[in-house]
Amino acid sequence: MRKKFRKSEENELFLFDTAVENIFLSEYMPQAPSEYVKIYLFALMYTHNGYYMDNELIARHLGIEVEDVLKAWTYWENMGAIKKNYYDKTNRYEYDVEFLSLREQLYGNKTKDNDAKSIASAFEDKSVKDLLKSIEKKINRPLGGNEPASIIALIDECGVSVELIEYCYNYCIKKGRTDVKYVEATIRNWSASNIKTVEDAENYLMQQDQRYSAYRRVMKALGFARNATEAEQEKIDYWMDVLDFGLDRIVEACKKTSGISNPNINYVSSIIENWAKADGKTIAEPNEPKAKKPISAKDVQRYYDYLKKLAEDEAKAKEEEIYRRIPAIKKIDEQIRESGVKLSQMMVMRAADSKKQAQDIKERMNELMMERAFLLTENDYPIEYMQIDYKCKKCKDSGIDDSGNRCSCYEERLKEASLWQKQ
């Protein structure tokens, strides 16, 4: 029988403390989707203090869909943070969630040693070597630190193919993200949705793309079963990106066509533009002789791509300049890269003396970094001279922040893109 709560009893819960492992905060939380973190912590609070909680209550408290809660538990199960205990093995939706000790997962489970050896041996696999080389070419820099080990671990932990990881890198690069944590989070999200192959990913992305989802919803609201044409997509882009109308309000405008025999997007456009005028927004009149096409999301993204390429090309030119003028720095960078790969192997092997060896490698890498900094400053270059100088440090000129949302710099880039397009 499910436990019923009085309000005063639930209020008492918020006076207690909930223990959260530091491993979760430092290793699991940064790469997880923000909604999944909320779900994990909220449910942990109730469980830790002995209170009843189910998926429906979690969804209601957090203002999300139950489906998202179920996806979160699949994600955390794949991450090894929880275990699903099924009441009936034939019913995949009825289960208790058991929170696992993350410390035990990392240090107390003997099978981890076998996993580590598996990862270490993967460094010698030709397809994996080719993957790492291909990734380095794509991101235009060597993989360092524990990046190679993190990439290889995805193959074993998520059961994905080398081809899917390479496809994921291509996808993330198009979004302006090359950091391994973002790629790792993407792969784990895909895995939680049972995406294991490139074909699975292509189908998933086609369905999940937010803008195309918006196009489909608008067309459905108009009573059409087909996809939006390019001209219709531009109209919808204009409503959303220039007039700043949300999808719900656009759908509301579409519903006003229900009383006419031949609903069309131009009729909806007239409704939305009238609303925009009432809100004091400026409308681009199509009959104006010098009317210019409004800036669309695609235009802004092209500007982001331009800024990103500009910054990366400049950094590449600086790197070539430094390697030409100070060849010793090129050798140092190669040594740092080799040390990073060795450190990754050391971290996954966990041999008896691996801790000392890893510390020695870290100290050597620090020495190399100091030597590198000395050579730069000795030759009148700032230490950060070879770093990529993105206009927006937060999104690295991609327009998308770490949580996958539109970056706060978007409005500023929108204004700049308008001027850039006129050049």
CATH code of the domain containing 267: 1.10.10
Looking at the structure of the chain, the number of domains it has is 4
Whether the predicted pLDDT of 265 surpasses 70: yes
pLDDT tier for residue 110 given thresholds of 50, 70 and 90 = very low
Whether the predicted pLDDT of 72 surpasses 80: yes
| Buried/exposed 208-229: b ≥16 CB within 10 Å, e otherwise | eeeeeebbbbbbebbeeeeebe
296/237 Cα distance (integer angstroms): 6
Asked if 323 and 313 sit in the same domain, the reply is: no
Asked if 14 and 102 sit in the same domain, the reply is: yes
44 phi/psi in degrees, rounded to 5: -60, -40
Asked if 342 and 419 sit in the same domain, the reply is: no
Asked if 299 and 327 sit in the same domain, the reply is: no
Question: What is the arithmetic mean of pLDDT over 352-373?
Answer: 79
Asked if 396 and 415 sit in the same domain, the reply is: yes
- What pLDDT was estimated at residue 146? 67
Asked if 250 and 372 sit in the same domain, the reply is: no
Predicted confidence (pLDDT) per residue in 200-227, tens digit: 888 878 766 777 778 888 888 888 878 7
- What pLDDT was estimated at residue 299? 80
Asked if 17 and 90 sit in the same domain, the reply is: yes
In a domain, 272, yes or no: yes
CA geometry: angle at 408 spanning 166 and 29, to 5°?
Answer: 55
Point out the domain boundary residue: 347, 362, 378.
378
Query: How many Cα atoms within 13 Å fall on the side-chain side of residue 367?
Result: 8
Asked if 346 and 401 sit in the same domain, the reply is: no
**Highest mean pLDDT: which of 84-93, 112-121, 166-175, 401-410?**
166-175
Predicted confidence (pLDDT) per residue in 224-262, tens digit: 878 788 788 888 888 888 888 888 899 998 888 877 777
Point out the domain boundary residue: 294, 329, 348.
294
Q: Which domain holds residue 228?
A: 210-294
pTM of the model: 0.41
Mean pLDDT value across the chain: 77
In a domain, 200, yes or no: no
- What pLDDT was estimated at residue 4? 38
pLDDT higher at 122 or 92: 92
- What pLDDT was estimated at residue 193? 77
In a domain, 147, yes or no: no
pLDDT higher at 181 or 417: 417
Asked if 337 and 309 sit in the same domain, the reply is: no
Asked if 225 and 258 sit in the same domain, the reply is: yes
Q: Are 388 and 311 in contact (CB under 8 A)?
A: yes
Choice among 318-327, 349-358, 397-406 with the minimum mean pLDDT: 349-358
- What pLDDT was estimated at residue 141? 76
Whether the predicted pLDDT of 283 surpasses 80: no
- What pLDDT was estimated at residue 196? 85
- What pLDDT was estimated at residue 52? 66
In a domain, 23, yes or no: yes
Whether the predicted pLDDT of 109 surpasses 70: no
pLDDT tier for residue 46 given thresholds of 50, 70 and 90 = confident
pLDDT tier for residue 183 given thresholds of 50, 70 and 90 = confident
In a domain, 70, yes or no: yes
Predicted confidence (pLDDT) per residue in 368-416, tens digit: 888 888 888 888 888 888 888 888 888 888 887 765 567 888 888 888 8
| Buried/exposed 320-347: b ≥16 CB within 10 Å, e otherwise | eebeeebeebeebbebbbebbbbbbbbb
pLDDT tier for residue 5 given thresholds of 50, 70 and 90 = very low
Asked if 394 and 343 sit in the same domain, the reply is: no
Predicted confidence (pLDDT) per residue in 111-157, tens digit: 444 554 455 555 567 788 888 888 888 887 777 666 777 788 787 77
314/312 Cα distance (integer angstroms): 5
272/249 Cα distance (integer angstroms): 9
In a domain, 156, yes or no: no
- What pLDDT was estimated at residue 9? 45
In a domain, 134, yes or no: no
Asked if 423 and 309 sit in the same domain, the reply is: yes
In a domain, 161, yes or no: no
Residue % of the chain over a pLDDT of 70: 78
pLDDT higher at 320 or 351: 320
Point out the domain boundary residue: 46, 79, 108.
108
